[in-house]
Amino acid sequence: MWLQRDVELRPRPRGFHLVTGEVLEAVPELRALRVGIVHVFVRHTSASLTLNENASPDVRRDFETWFTHAVPDGWGDFSHTLEGPDDMPAHVKASLLGPSVSFPVIDGRPALGTWQGIYLCEHRDHGGARSLVVTAWGEEA
């Protein structure tokens, strides 16, 4: 059994955003999977996906602080600067975090840990809407 949906995420400000609900609501049929995998993929090179703490907004703010410290806007050693001071750092951050997350399905439910939520990591100042592809596959109950 295969499920696949495009999910368009509305434009969000630069930073880290919880999108667990939007992703899982796109594939309600995964309730039918006894065992399987969900794969979430972002079709961009300046935004990324990760799993992390789903409770405290502080954690998401601290992510933005640390990543922007590690890969500073307008860093002097970058040569790809035509698209703005936030562009090349966005590419680096996107690869540090990665374009996909995947997690198991057990008895019709995503087997995320209690504190794990899906983050959209928006690395541009004005990234616009972001396209995801959510794919799930497995064995029906």
Return all residues near 57 (Cβ < 8 A) that are at least 6 apart.
none
Residue 42 dihedral angles phi and psi, to the nearest 5°? -105, 130
Least Å from the CB of residue 41 to a second copy: 6
Residues lying near a second copy in the complex (CB under 8 A) are found at: 2, 4, 35-37, 39, 41-45, 50-53, 56, 58-59, 61-63, 65-66, 69-71, 75, 77-80, 88, 91-92, 94-104, 106, 111-116, 119, 131, 133, 135, 137-139
**Cα–Cα nearest to 63, from 127, 130, 121, 126:** 121
DSSP code of 32? Answer: G
Q: Looking at beta carbons only, is 12 or 78 nearer to a second copy?
A: 78
Rank residues 107 and 125 by Cβ distance to a second copy and give the closer one. Answer: 107
